[in-house]
Every structure is written in C-alpha cells, then in structure tokens.
Amino acid sequence: MKLRDYQEAAAGGIFRAWEDNTSALAVLPTGLGKTVLFAEVIRRMHENGVRAMVLAHREELITQAADKIHRVTGLEAQIEMGEYHVSPMFGEMPPVVVSTVQTHCAGGDGGGRMSKFDPQDFGLVVIDEAHHATARTYRRCIDWYRQNPNCKVLGVTATPDRADEAALGAVFESVAYEYGVLDAINNGWLVPIEQQMVTVGSLDFSNIRTTAGDLNQGDLAEVMEDERNLQGVAVPTVEICGDRRAIVFAATVEQAERLAEILNRYKPDRAAWLCGKTDKDERRRMLADFKAGHLQFVVNVGVLTEGFDDAGVEVVVMARPTKSRALYAQMAGRGTRPAEEVAGKLGDIPTAQERCAMIRSSSKPSCLIVDFTGKAGRHKLCCTADILGGNIDDDVVAEVTRRVRENGKPVDMTEELAKVKAEVEERKKREAASRAGLQARAQFLVTKIDPFNEWDITPVQERGWDRHRHFTPKQAQVLLERIGVNPEKIPYGQGKQLLDEYFRRVQGGYASLKQASLLKKRGFSMPLRHDMAGRMIGRMAERQGWHK
C-alpha cells in the first residue's frame, strides 16, 4: 500500500526518534490512517527480523488492526483475546500479535496472559489509542516487554488533551511526529468542519463540579436528562440535520434512550441508541442499518468515540458537553472522513489544492458539528476551535469561539480561524510599529533566514510533553549547522518541528533552506527539487550578474 506523504514523514520521524530513544509517540487526527502507519512500521521492522506486539483496549480496535496489518503488510497477525489464543507455528511466535491490554493483565495477580509471551520474542510494542497509555495496566504491559533491552515502543493517537501531555511525556521519550487537524483539512485529507452552536436557555452547567478534569458525570446527568433540555436538544437536531445522517453523543444511558425516543416521534423508526452494554450482534446490526441509510440517527454513550469508521456521517451532534480536548477530538473526528467515492483517490492526487477541490465537489463537501450551549459558569467547554487551533494563539481561538456562539449559524471554521488569525496578527503588527525603538526579531536565529517563514510553516505552541526535553547532540548540530538556528534559544517543540521539516525535504530531494530563501525573494514559492533549484539559481545568476 502506497503511503501518503504525511504517513511517510511520520514513519521517517519514528525511526529517527528511535536512534536516540527506545519509545516514540506519533499524533495523527482521526481518519488519517494511524493503523496503516504502524502497519508500515511493523513491516519495516519485520524486514530486520523483529516481531511486533500491538496492544489496544477494545475488541473493535483489535479485529480492525489485525485485518489492516495483514492487508498492508501481508504478515500473519494473530489475536490474543477472550477465546482467541495465539498458536505458535513450529515452536515460533507469529510475526505480529494483536491483543487487548485487559487480556494481558487479566487474572488475580495481574499477570494475566502476558506471561505466556517472552519479552525477548518481541522487539516492537505498538500502543493503539496511546492517550490511554498512562493507565497502570498499560504501564505494566510496557514494562513487561521492556525486559528486552532492544525493544522499541510506539504509541499512536489522535490529538490528545493538553492536560495529558506531560503524563504522556513520562511514557514516551520522544514525540516523533505530530500532524494537526487544521493542517490535514488544508492539505485536502479531511473535510472542512462547519460549527453551529445552539443556545438552549434551560441548559445550565454553572453548578456542575469538575472531576478528573472534566464535568462531573452525576451532575451532568441531572442536567442533560431534564425534560426541557432533552427537548431543547432533540428538536433543533431534527431541524438542523434535515436528511443528513448524524451521530449523537450523549452523556448517560437515560439521556440516550430518551433522545432516541423523542427523535422517533418526529421521524418514526429513524433513530436508535446504544451503549457499552448493548449486545454486540445488535450493535453490528444497528450500525449496518445506519450505514445503509435505514437509520438516520444513532445516539450513543461513549461507544463510537473509537474504532468506528463511517465516511457517510455528515453531522456530529454534541449532546454531551466536555472540557476534554481529547474526547471532543475523538467525537468530532467521526464526521471528518471524506466521502467514500473520493477517499480512495486522494492519495493519487499530487497537490493539496486539487485534493481540496475534489472534496468540495464530492457528496460530502464538509461536516457539521453541532454544540448545545447554555450557562457555562466557570467551565471552559470545548468546541471545534479548540481542536483546530493547535498551532494558533489562544486569544484567536477564544475570539473565534465567541463569534461562532453569537452567530448561531453554521460557520466554516477553517475560514473563520484564518480570518481572525489575520486580524489579530495585523493588530499586533500595528501595535509593534507604534512602539518606537523596538525591533521585532526572532532571538533564536543565528542567520538572517527565518526557516519558519521560508518553509511556510507555523511555529507550534509549547506542549506539555516538551517542556523538559532537550535536543540530542545530533539534533543540536543539525539545527545549528544545517538550519541556522541556535538550539539553546528555541523551544524544543519548535526545534523538533524544524528538524522534521528539514529531514522531510532532504529525503524528498527538495531545495535547501538557502536555495528556498533565495528563490522566494524572487517570487518562486512552490516547492522545488534541489537540482531544479540549483539550475534556476545558476541561470538567474548568469542573467542578472549576481552570485549564488
């Protein structure tokens, strides 16, 4: 299977991270093929005789991973879970084992079935949905396989909550690659997000307590199960969705059941609900009916946040407010996959502009995320601006959120973020210009070339997992000698961002930073191959009489 450019960059980043560390984390938004990425890593490791253990926490993730690994790599991937047991062939373990962390840790002493696996047999451990890796059960599994000093650990996850980042930094020594949702949309891999906020007068979250960083479940249940609020959510949902298929995320089983009941009053036999206790066969039948269009609404309680893929979902209804960026990203991600008729073709399209055009002309040009707002009190509840604005200043995100809330109509969040960001940047420029005697200058630069500007990338904000990290001697040398940045004067995350872009360009044979800067000053902004850039600069030098 041909990798997309960001998957290739992520795979390269992972192996570079392993040169100096034993563990690495890759962050890719929902819908961008995390399983394909780690299947490719498994394939490359297998070429060197390394077996892989893949760990996740849900049955759906296990079966999907085993199937995808086999299709991508051709390797046998056996499952260790419940009634499924790995069967060694000729006394040897299969090249890939996929298992749940619960299976690994099951048993009175916590040893579970992991003890049947010799750590020396596995040189790679992959943690799917790695934002769960801070849990004690995951740590126990990782420690078991790390008895093999040569074992590498890879975690893959969608956008994690910032509150989890420092904890993830304690599990994974390096963030090998990170790709933002907004970048994925702008590059034509995911559909644009429209946000609509509906104000329900009776919704009042101000007295809800905070527990473990999110709204207290009991307090939230009392609010969301109130009859007025059930009606306040159901009626706008019917009106807004029209004929579009929608997933509705609910906070409690009672709320989910009642919402489905009310939706069916308006559209008979078009809504169903499910929760973690729903019979597995019934769940499969329900989701098959939903995909076939027999059902328009599926109301769920924490079931479809992971391991559920249906590109036909056009609307995601957030009837479950949250303060968790990770949870919100998981829920919103159920609607960002491109339509099936174009999804398989995007990888063959060479430019972001062409991919975006293909998505716009498809049966699913965008997805709509519907939030229900009321009195939030002291709580900062998440919306799509929070998951899209990873590299954008918090004041821009706050201003966009305010405007969307006041608007009350669907708003293209990509356009709105770009608009507000430009407004804020222009304001800051005017303020800077008015301060006489001050010069805006990046202190970390050694040369006059700003690599962020020349490569057209936005510096990332400092992340929790990066606050106490330091560059390796090799990284520092590349930053200083190849990119022209003083490693002692730049945050780790931004330096890592420049290193990833530098290596991506070297591997792709693109123009050097100096070449790019020289050509950009003369109006050439498109990425050029190194040899082509050299010839162009040579011709310009001859015609215009200047030196390279």
User: Does residue 91 register a pLDDT over 90?
Assistant: no
Residue 208: both structure tokens together: 């809800």
How many whole angstroms from its chain centre is CA 472?
A: 26
Parallel, antiparallel or unpaired: strands 96-100 and 52-56: parallel
Q: For the chain, percent helix, then strand, then coil, each to nearest 5?
A: 50, 15, 35
Q: Which residues pair with 126 in a beta bridge?
A: 54, 154
Q: Which residues pair with 197 in a beta bridge?
A: 371
pLDDT top residue among 98 and 446: 98
Mean pLDDT throughout 380-396?
82
pLDDT tier at 438 (50, 70, 90 boundaries)? very low
pLDDT at 531: 75
User: Does residue 149 register a pLDDT over 60?
Assistant: yes
The DSSP 8-state label assigned to residue 244 in this structure reads -
How far is the C-alpha of 363 from the C-alpha of 385, rounded, in Å? 25
Residue 43: both structure tokens together: 């394939």
pLDDT tier at 155 (50, 70, 90 boundaries)? very high
3-state secondary structure of 518: helix
Residue 236: both structure tokens together: 């706008």
pLDDT at 435: 56
How far is the C-alpha of 391 from the C-alpha of 385, rounded, in Å? 11
pLDDT top residue among 493 and 370: 370
Q: What's the mean pLDDT when you consider all of the chain?
A: 87
Of all residues in the chain, the percent with pLDDT exceeding 90 is 52
Mean pLDDT throughout 430-448?
49
Class of domain 5-179 as given by CATH: alpha beta
Of all residues in the chain, the percent with pLDDT exceeding 70 is 91
The CATH homologous superfamily for domain 186-424 is P-loop containing nucleotide triphosphate hydrolases (3.40.50.300)
pLDDT tier at 548 (50, 70, 90 boundaries)? very low
Instruction: Read off the amino acid at residue 354.
Output: E
226-280 pLDDT per residue, tens: 999 999 999 999 999 999 999 999 999 999 999 999 999 999 999 999 999 999 8
pLDDT tier at 443 (50, 70, 90 boundaries)? very low
The upper half-sphere exposure of residue 260, i.e. CA atoms within 13 Å in the direction of its Cβ, equals: 22
How far is the C-alpha of 306 from the C-alpha of 129, rounded, in Å? 8
pLDDT at 437: 43
SS3 letters across 68-132: HHHHHHCCCEEEEECCECCCCECCECCCEEEEEHHHHHCCCCCCHHHHHCCHHHCCEEEECCHHH
- Tell me the whole-structure pTM to 2 decimals: 0.80
pLDDT at 519: 73
Instruction: Read off the amino acid at residue 327.
Output: L
Question: Tokens 């608007």 label which residue?
Answer: 407
Assess contact for 315 and 368: CB atoms under 8 A: yes
How far is the C-alpha of 100 from the C-alpha of 97, rounded, in Å? 10
What's the chain's length in residues? 548
pLDDT top residue among 490 and 520: 490
pLDDT tier at 513 (50, 70, 90 boundaries)? confident
Residue 460: both structure tokens together: 């990332």
Mean pLDDT throughout 8-26?
94
How far is the C-alpha of 425 from the C-alpha of 419, rounded, in Å? 10
For the chain, which residues make up each domain, given as ranges?
5-179, 186-424, 451-544
For residue 284, give every residue at least 6 positions away whose Cβ sits within 8 Å of its Cβ, in sequence order, or none. none
User: Does residue 545 register a pLDDT over 70?
Assistant: no
For residue 261, give every residue at least 6 positions away whose Cβ sits within 8 Å of its Cβ, in sequence order, or none. none
User: Does residue 298 register a pLDDT over 80?
Assistant: yes
pLDDT at 449: 61
How far is the C-alpha of 361 from the C-alpha of 341, rounded, in Å? 11
Mean pLDDT throughout 154-158?
92
How far is the C-alpha of 114 from the C-alpha of 118, rounded, in Å? 8
Q: Are both 5-179 and 186-424 of the same fold? A: yes
The DSSP 8-state label assigned to residue 348 in this structure reads G
Which phi-psi region, left, alpha or beta, contains residue 493 (left: φ > 0; alpha: ψ -120 to 50)? Answer: alpha
User: Does residue 530 register a pLDDT over 50?
Assistant: yes
Assess contact for 350 and 186: CB atoms under 8 A: no
User: Does residue 468 register a pLDDT over 80?
Assistant: no
Q: Which residues pair with 271 in a beta bridge?
A: 297
pLDDT at 509: 81
